[in-house]
Chains A and B, each alone.
Chain A
Amino acid sequence: MIALVSHKGMNRAEDPDGTIADVLIVGAGPAGGMAAKHLVAAGLSVVCLEQGDWESSDRLPTGRPEGELMARQRWHWSPNQREREADYPIDESESDVGITMYNAVGGSTWLWGAHWHRLTPSDFAVRSLDGVADDWPITYAELEPFYEEAELAMGVSGLSGDPAYPAPHRHPLPPFPIGKAGRKAAEGMNRLGWHWWPGSNGIPSRPHGHLAACVRLGVCSKGCPEGAKAVADKAYWIDATASGARLITGARVREITTDSAGLATGAIWIDRSGEEHHQRARVVILCANGIGTARLLLLSKSARFPDGLANSSGLVGRNFMPHPISVAVGVFDEQLESWIGPGGIAIYSMQFYETDRLRGFVRGAKWSLSTGGGPLSIHPGLGRASLERGWGAAAHQKMRRLGHSLSWAICGETLPDPENRITLHDELSDCDGVPSVKVHFRVGENDRALRDWHIERARESLVAAGAVETLSIPVLPNSGGHMLGTARMGNDPATSVTDRWGRTHDVPNLYIFDGSLFVTSGGVNPTATICALAARGARHLIAARRDQKVAA
């Protein structure tokens, strides 16, 4: 075994052409970007393999009047609808929620809503506090400096000092105005004495690094044409590649390779002409998200790892926690211009985030007041309504709600259940013939009770704000965009896939730095924590590199 010293310090005789990367990263989303940024800064040679390409925000139609019409196609949230070469199909026939992601340099942040939330201290101790699921092997306090780092990298705008978090809770950029819609919702919350806070968004309110300042088009989750939302290409990859990281696009990884000692040696990948390559590396880091990473581990079977790589616990792919989003809508007499951005969030509430057993369930949810979208987003006939209710005069009446409605998007904690899982598909494959995945996900009893209770409270808050009508959507179709839990971290190799640093228990030079690591999902959007975990893992890898085992 030799140590990872950096390419400059390596023995040249071993690698005369310099073809062995110190570190191979799979996936160029925010997790991979954060890792790459740290590793190149430490002088390590980094290669990243990304199945998608560089995209340009100029191509996005969303700022134009026809943006809504166009948004449903090439930039659809569901890879099954887009069917681009970079995508892989996902069998959702046994899932209660549709899966969303984007595959490109920047990853799913091309389409993310940029709601930026840290987990809270209690999220790391769910078993100790509430007797369910498991505790994380790390605490909020350990992650806190990495949250701050990620907030700077992602240009987070928000108001510091939220009492739902321990102090200091700071944001690098000033908050956005909350607008008429935010004020209306806040008034309702104040009448009930409930917590709310101005939105924290991964969207800069002022120019920040490669990111432009937001102009509040309100189209964030359909793709920001301004280049203002923190997409990971701008937040990380432009600088990481300028500093020497080698990012190979159109590169679909189909297997992580290992040697006879069971150490990772690199990855086999397929280029867009169908040719296979082997990228050798001393350390491999998977940042392909909670579905892509599980898929790759399960694909990387060998005599030594018959159930897939790093899967001696049998937990790879299990405990998938996608956070199906629920929505409570209030309709108001007055025009609230609720299409104005950032969208993003105007305000959020953590009032019912922590457990209260009297409610009949444990854990909680965060509510985000999101933009309402344009006419096609709210048209009843383009949903599932009948001809009578969805069209005709009835539709005209309902379309008067445009801008008159407030929507709370409720992100409730999904508790881990080993039966909720990602498996390799027997028949379905991507355009390179690599087996794809099936998602098995059912909303559990606790999650359902939590969801129903929160929807009712959210409706109450809208009534308190003056809503003349409220409605709800228990599960927003295609809202499964949080890929969590499929290779969880822990101290015990029997009950976890990686250690507290994201290093797999079974393969000491194979790491995971994405949402797969989550032990529990929390009730907030995960990207803040994903970026913080990647930063913390990368820093540790660098600090401990002299002791790092690598293949001979």
Chain B
Amino acid sequence: MNWFKEDDRAVIRALADILIPDAEGMPSASAAGAADELLDRVVQLRADLAPRVLAAVRFARGKDHRAALEELRTHDSETWQGFCLAIAGGYYLFDDVRALLGYTGPERRPVDPEAAPDFTDLLAPVLARGPIWRAPRTTGEAP
């Protein structure tokens, strides 16, 4: 299902780039496709977000976009949160963005049962200090 018309997309791109601009070595939301193909992927996975994105578009159309976002944030948290999640949710699915952040995402890393523990060297002082639990007087248990 195509939720967004081209003039909706134009507003979404503008709003999205205020949230996620081209800065700090990171691409803008629109350059990453977070208002286009990635947004389509997001609403395919989360159809509940599409009406909230459209509500944000309706609200912001013809207004100063930054002021509109600020107003949504303070007065309509459901639309605001839905819009933000849809944009950020798509943006951080973009492989280049993940690579720039050094983020690999959930990866399968089975434990090697033969590998030596990676903490033994650090644990010595903890063991040297001995028991730290407190015995209840009532039972006579003692460390």
Contact = CB atoms under 8 A, between A and B. Distances in A.
Contacts of B135: 121-122
B85 A195 contact: no
Given A135-B138, A382-B85, A340 B109 contact: yes
Contact of A393 (B23, B81, B107, B113): B23
Nearest to B88: A379
B64 interface: no
B75 to A, nearest CB: 13
Contacts of A183: 118-119, 122
B131 interface: yes
A128 B92 contact: no
Nearest to B73: A387
Interface in B83-135: 84-85, 88-89, 92-93, 101-111, 113, 115, 117-119, 122-123, 125-127, 129-135
B52 to A, nearest CB: 13
Contacts of B92: 68, 374-376, 379
Nearest to B127: A163
A65 interface: yes
A69 B42 contact: yes
Given A381-B88, A392-B21, A164 B132 contact: yes
A434 interface: no
Contact of A397 (B24, B102, B133): B24
A217 interface: yes
B70 interface: yes
A166 B141 contact: yes
Contact of A374 (B23, B103, B136): B103
Contacts of A125: 136-139
A354 B20 contact: no
Contacts of A129: 134, 136-137
A122 B134 contact: yes
A403 B102 contact: yes
Given A174-B113, A392-B23, A195 B88 contact: no
Given A135-B138, A196-B126, A197-B126, A177 B113 contact: no
B58 interface: no
Interface bracket on B = 35 or more
Contacts of A70: 45-46
A264 to B, nearest CB: 33
A374 to B, nearest CB: 6
B23 A396 contact: yes
Q: Which of B88, B126, B137 has the most CB of A within 10 A?
A: B126
Interface string A68-91: 111011000000000000000000
Contacts of A427: none
A387 B66 contact: yes
A128 B131 contact: no
Contacts, number: 203
Nearest to A398: B24
Given A382-B85, A382-B88, A399-B101, A354 B73 contact: no
A376 B84 CA distance: 10
B76 interface: no
Interface stretch (A186-194, A271-279, A319-327, A537-545): A186-194
B106 A72 contact: no
A307 to B, nearest CB: 33
B106 A218 contact: yes
Contacts of B69: 387
Contact of A65 (B23, B85, B93, B111): B93
Contacts of B123: 186, 197-198
A73 B104 CA distance: 23
Nearest to A197: B126
B133 A120 contact: yes
Interface residues of A, number: 82
Nearest to A396: B24
B24 A217 contact: no
A211 to B, nearest CB: 14
A236 interface: no
B132 A190 contact: no
A67 interface: yes
Interface in B39-84: 41-42, 45-46, 48, 66, 69-70, 73, 81, 84
A511 interface: no
A190 B133 contact: no
A124 B132 contact: no
Contact of B110 (A213, A335, A351): A213
B119 A182 contact: yes
Given A73-B48, A177-B111, A213-B111, A67 B106 contact: yes
Contacts of A391: 18-20, 84
A487 B108 CA distance: 42
B103 A339 contact: yes
A375 B91 CA distance: 10
Contacts of A381: 19, 84, 88
Interface in B8-22: 18-21
Contacts of B85: 69, 72, 376, 382
Contacts of B73: 386-387
7 interchain residue pairs of minimum CB distance: A125-B136, A396-B24, A217-B106, A393-B23, A375-B92, A69-B89, A215-B108
22 contacts: A68-B89, A69-B46, A121-B133, A125-B136, A125-B137, A128-B138, A129-B134, A139-B141, A140-B136, A141-B139, A163-B126, A174-B113, A177-B118, A186-B122, A193-B125, A195-B129, A198-B119, A217-B106, A350-B133, A376-B88, A382-B81, A386-B73
Given A124-B136, A375-B92, 10 more contacts: A68-B89, A69-B45, A120-B134, A121-B136, A129-B136, A177-B118, A178-B119, A186-B123, A347-B119, A403-B102
Interface of A: 62-70, 72-73, 120-122, 124-125, 128-129, 135, 139-141, 159, 161, 163-166, 174-179, 182-183, 186-187, 190, 193, 195-198, 205-206, 213-219, 335, 337, 339-341, 347, 350-351, 353-355, 374-376, 379, 381-382, 386-387, 391-393, 395-397, 399-400, 402-403
